[in-house]
Amino acid sequence: MNTQSENRNTVGLWLARLLGLVLALIGLVLVGGGGWLASLGGSFYYVLAGLGLLASGILIMAGRASGAWLYILVFFATLLWAYWEVGLHGWALVPRVVAPTVLLVLVIAAMPPLAPWDYSWRSAFAGIAAVLVLMVGGGVYIATVNAPKVEGPLPAAGHLAMSDPSLKEVGSDWPAYGGTYSARRYSPLAEITRDNVGKLKRAWVYHTGDLPDSELAKGKYGAETTPLKVGDTLYLCSAMNIMIAVDPETGKERWRYDPKVSDDWIPYTAACRGVTYFEVPDATPDQVCPTRVIEGTLDGRLVAVDAETGEPCSDFGDNGSVDFKRGMGEVVPGMVSMTSAPTIVRGVIVTGHQVLDGQKRSAPSGVIQGFDAVTGEQRWAWDMTQPEITGQPPEGETYTRGTPNMWTTASGDEELGLVYLPMGNSAVDYWSGARSDAENEYSTSLVAIDVETGKPAWHFQTVHKDVWDYDLGAQATLVDFPVGEGTVPALILPSKQGDMYVLNRETGEPITGVEERPVPTGGVEPDQRSPTQPFSLYHTLRKPELTEASMWGMSPIDQMVCRIQFRRSSYEGFYTAPTSDQHWIEYPGYNGGTDWGGIAVDPSRGVIVANYNDMPNYNRLVPRAEAERKGWAPRGQQRGAIGGAEGAGDPQAGTPYAINVNAGWRLPFTGLLCKEPPYGGIRAIDMETGKTLWDRPFGEARTNGPFGIPSMLPITIGTPNNGGSVVTAGGVIFVAAATDNLIRAIDMETGETLWSDVLPAGGQATPMTYEANGRQYLVIMAGGHHFMETPIGDALVAYALPQQQ
Catalytic positions, please?
469
| Residue 751: its H or E element | none
Q: What is d(CA 93, CA 87) in angstroms, rounded to the nearest whole number?
A: 8
Q: What are phi and psi of 187, to 5 degrees?
A: -125, 135
Residues 6+ away with beta carbon under 8 Å from 83: none
Residues 6+ away with beta carbon under 8 Å from 720: 591, 592, 613, 615, 664, 679, 680, 699, 738, 739, 788
Q: What are phi and psi of 13, to 5 degrees?
A: -65, -40
Q: What is d(CA 575, CA 593) in angstroms, rounded to the nearest whole number?
A: 14
DSSP string computed for 563-602? HHHHHHSB--STTPPP-SSS-EEESS-TT-SS-TT--EEE
Q: Say if CB 252 and CB 246 are below 8 A apart.
A: yes
Torsion angle of alpha carbons 369, 373, 375, 380, nearest 10°? -20
Task: Give the count of beta carbons closer than 10 Å to the beta carbon of residue 294.
Answer: 26
> Coil, strand, or helix at residue 11?
helix
Q: Is the peptide bond before 112 cis (omega within 30 degrees of 0)?
A: no
For residue 112, give the amino acid letter: P
Nearest to 657 by CA among 630, 623, 634: 623
Residues 6+ away with beta carbon under 8 Å from 308: 291
Dihedral sign of CA atoms 215, 643, 782, 352 in order = negative
| Angle between the N-to-C axes of helices 99-114 and 121-145, in degrees from 0 to 180, rounded to the nearest 10 | 170
Q: What is d(CA 565, CA 563) in angstroms, rounded to the nearest whole number?
A: 5
DSSP secondary-structure letter at 174? Answer: B
Q: Say if CB 57 and CB 110 are below 8 A apart.
A: no
Give the 3-state secondary structure percentages of the chain, helix then strand then coil, rounded to 5: 20, 30, 50
What is the b/e burial string over 229-265, where b = at least 16 CB atoms within 10 angstroms of the residue's CB?
bbeebbbbbbbbbbbbbbebbebeeebbbebebebeb
Strands 201-207 and 795-800: what pairing?
antiparallel
- In whole angstroms, what separates CA 69 from the centre of its chain? 47
> Coil, strand, or helix at residue 77?
helix
> Coil, strand, or helix at residue 179?
strand
CA distances from 632 to 119, 244, 337, 624 (A): 63, 38, 22, 9
> Coil, strand, or helix at residue 536?
strand
